[in-house]
Amino acid sequence: MVVVGGGIAGLTAARNLVKAGRSVVVLEALSRVGGRMVRRSVAEGGWVDLGGQWAGPTQHRLLALSDELGLKRFPSYYGGEGIVAFDGIAGRFKGDISTVRGLPGQRSPAPAGAVHDAERGTAALATLARSVSPGQPWTAPRATALDRQTVADWLQRNVRTGFGRFVIANEGVFNSSGGTLDEVSLLHLLFEMRANPHGERPDSDLYFGGAGQIPLILARQLGDRVAVKAAVRAISQDSSGVTVTTAAGRFRAGHVIVAIPPTLAGAISYDPPLPARRLQLGQRMPLGTLAKVHAVYPTAFWRPLGLSGSAVGTLPTVQATADSSPPDGKPGILTGFVAGQGALSWATRPWAQRRQTVLADYRTYFGSRASSPVDYVEAVWPANPFAGGAFNAFMPPGVWTGYGPALRAPIGRIHWVGAETATRWYGYFDGAISSAEREVGAILGKT
Ligand SMILES: Cc1cc2nc3c(=O)[nH]c(=O)nc-3n(C[C@H](O)[C@H](O)[C@H](O)COP(=O)(O)OP(=O)(O)OC[C@H]3O[C@@H](n4cnc5c(N)ncnc54)[C@H](O)[C@@H]3O)c2cc1C
């Protein structure tokens, strides 16, 4: 069996095939495995994840795998208050952005009218989401109408105040794969709300040593079954098997599992050519435009000030932050997200300027101590040609209803796997793992 892509999905597929006694080779384009999971050591004995990092209590496939690999988790820090900096509204809030709206008994820095507006908008979206099946979003009763508009169109028509739109947009970006809301289909946001319920707290735990250890351990266990610097360029299939062509040679197998985002899969050439709907799907699923940064301090200095390290705002560079420090806050790590078109122009600046603009926003959120970290690292995901962006791929208007059925359907001996093919925890580690389990199960059942 050949597996294309050495991210968590491809490595899990290979692991399960090996467990079932099959021979397998994983072909990875880069010189490292892990894809959108990258662990990095930083100053003061710390570590960060440049890609995904959090796990949640209902991400059962992820928890089972990481337990089996012997990794330990700890609760991500959310004590104290968060910071909001939106136009004229600046202040603290309890918990995460959703509580900016002022949960019962909590104060909100926003005017009551704006808070009410945000609450009404969120409730309306939740009602719409109930009509969408995560397995087949295109079958929702009003799928065509929901898929004809962007999230921004809907917000403009249904949420009156700028603050209300800001609150929902903040939740939206984290529930729409990192795509900006003027490009993401409303149906896609509703699908993610169903597939990835944020009420189940997918960001509740962090891994000691970083989530990025998982693919490294899996690859170590697979040994020389993993080939790096082996970008797949072509896949041909005939009645007896598949031939997969890479920079490192050709590989022949009974089946191929393609474990990369659909748009990157679309850049491979196929013989015979893919059916039109699948071919066109590969042209229509962009990844979000987002960079991730981390600043490292000797201690999490914000915690004694009663701050959680979470901030959201409309500052020039960093739209959201979180505390990624270990439990004792040593070192202190503030993670930031730079999103949207602004991330692309920010990414063209020299490194020193990028760092400086990030730290300027950190200073606005957390005060002058944030200006002098002992370390600073970043990952500009839209510039990684074998990722294509962050967090994940999303559907622009018209794509779920026009092309959705082609997302998971195998084509002869070609099977599609990866976080973007999951119906539960779509775009998350957990979804990537379950997608591999789903497709390996189907292949083993057939052969
Ligand atoms: C900044 C960021 C933050 C995130 N935060 C979280 C989080 O906190 N929790 C969470 O659960 N998820 C998070 N995610 C999402 C999560 O990281 C991904 O959904 C998951 O890692 C995807 O795994 P995958 O194996 O499906 O794809 P990938 O990780 O993209 O793996 C695909 C692999 O295929 C390789 N490849 C691509 N094209 C080819 C080719 N032609 N030939 C050979 N190899 C190829 C790539 O190099 C890559 O190694 C985040 C992602 C990012 C980027």
184 falls within a domain: yes
108 has a pLDDT exceeding 80: no
Average pLDDT over residues 235-253: 95
Of 58-67, 90-99, 210-219, 437-446, where does mean pLDDT reach its minimum?
90-99
102 has a pLDDT exceeding 60: no
Looking at residue 176, which CATH number applies to its domain? Answer: 1.10.405.10
Looking at ligand 1, which atom is closest to the CA of residue 429?
A: 11
Would you state the pLDDT for residue 99? 53
348 falls within a domain: yes
CB 432 within 8 A of CB 12: yes
CA dist., res. 219 & res. 54, Å (int): 21
Question: Could you list the residue range(s) of the whole structural domain that residue 159 is in?
Answer: 97-200
Asked whether 428 lines ligand 1 (CB < 6 A), one says yes
Shared-domain flag, residues 303 and 268? no
Would you state the pLDDT for residue 177? 83
Asked whether 86 lines ligand 1 (CB < 6 A), one says no
What are 23-51's pLDDT values in tens digits?
Answer: 999 999 999 999 999 999 999 999 999 99
Nearest residue (by CA) to ligand 1, atom 12, is 428
Asked whether 289 lines ligand 1 (CB < 6 A), one says no
Which of 189-201 are b and which e, b meaning 16 or more Cβ less than 10 Å from the residue's Cβ?
bbbbbbbbbeeeb
Would you state the pLDDT for residue 98? 55
Asked whether 30 lines ligand 1 (CB < 6 A), one says yes
Asked whether 264 lines ligand 1 (CB < 6 A), one says yes
Shared-domain flag, residues 296 and 374? yes
What are 131-154's pLDDT values in tens digits?
Answer: 999 999 999 999 999 999 999 999
Would you state the pLDDT for residue 93? 75
Q: What angle do CA 426, 427, 433 make, to 5 degrees?
A: 80
Q: Respond yes or no on whether the N-terminal peptide bond of residue 391 is cis (omega within 30° of 0).
A: yes
Looking at residue 299, which CATH number applies to its domain? Answer: 3.90.660.10
Average pLDDT over residues 341-355: 96
Distance (angstroms) between ligand 1 centre and the Cα of 35 equals 4
Shared-domain flag, residues 293 and 327? yes
Distance (angstroms) between ligand 1 centre and the Cα of 403 equals 22
What are 401-423's pLDDT values in tens digits?
Answer: 999 999 999 999 999 999 999 99
**Tokens 């609450």, residue located:** 119
Would you state the pLDDT for residue 155? 95
Would you state the pLDDT for residue 87? 79
Would you state the pLDDT for residue 107? 60
CB 314 within 8 A of CB 166: yes
Pocket test for ligand 1, best of 391, 392, 407 (most atoms within 8 A of CB): 391
Shared-domain flag, residues 268 and 298? no
Nearest residue (by CA) to ligand 1, atom 37, is 386
112 has a pLDDT exceeding 80: no
Taking the alpha carbons at both ends of the chain, their separation in whole angstroms is 11
Would you state the pLDDT for residue 53? 97
77 falls within a domain: no
Shared-domain flag, residues 196 and 215? no
How far, CA to CA in Å, does 360 sit from each of 100, 170, 304, 367?
23, 21, 21, 10
Nearest residue (by CA) to ligand 1, atom 20, is 429
59 falls within a domain: no
Average pLDDT over residues 156-178: 83
Would you state the pLDDT for residue 113? 79
Shared-domain flag, residues 116 and 264? no
390 falls within a domain: no
CB 284 within 8 A of CB 393: no
| Helix/strand/coil for 382 | helix
Examine the fold and report which residue of 383, 403, 419 is the final residue of a domain before the chain moves on: 383
Shared-domain flag, residues 377 and 426? no
Distance (angstroms) between ligand 1 centre and the Cα of 108 equals 36
Examine the fold and report which residue of 145, 179, 200 is the final residue of a domain before the chain moves on: 200
Q: Environment class of residue 317 by beta-carbon count within 10 Å: exposed (0-12), middle (13-18) or buried (19+)?
A: buried
Q: What residues contact residue 223 under an 8 Å CB cut-off, 6+ apart?
A: none
**With bands split at pLDDT 50, 70 and 90, how would you rate the model's confidence at 104?**
very low
Mean pLDDT of the chain: 93
Distance (angstroms) between ligand 1 centre and the Cα of 121 equals 31
Q: What percent of the chain shows pLDDT beyond 70?
A: 96
| Helix/strand/coil for 182 | coil
51 falls within a domain: no
Shared-domain flag, residues 299 and 340? yes
377 falls within a domain: yes
Q: Look up residue 417 and give its DSSP letter.
A: -
What's the domain count of the chain? 3
Shared-domain flag, residues 163 and 189? yes
Of 218-222, 246-250, 256-260, 403-407, where does mean pLDDT reach its minimum?
246-250
**Which residues partner with 380 through β-bridges?**
291
Shared-domain flag, residues 111 and 177? yes
Q: Which residue blocks in 203-321 are alpha helix, DSSP H?
A: 213-222, 262-265, 276-281
Average pLDDT over residues 432-438: 98
85 falls within a domain: no
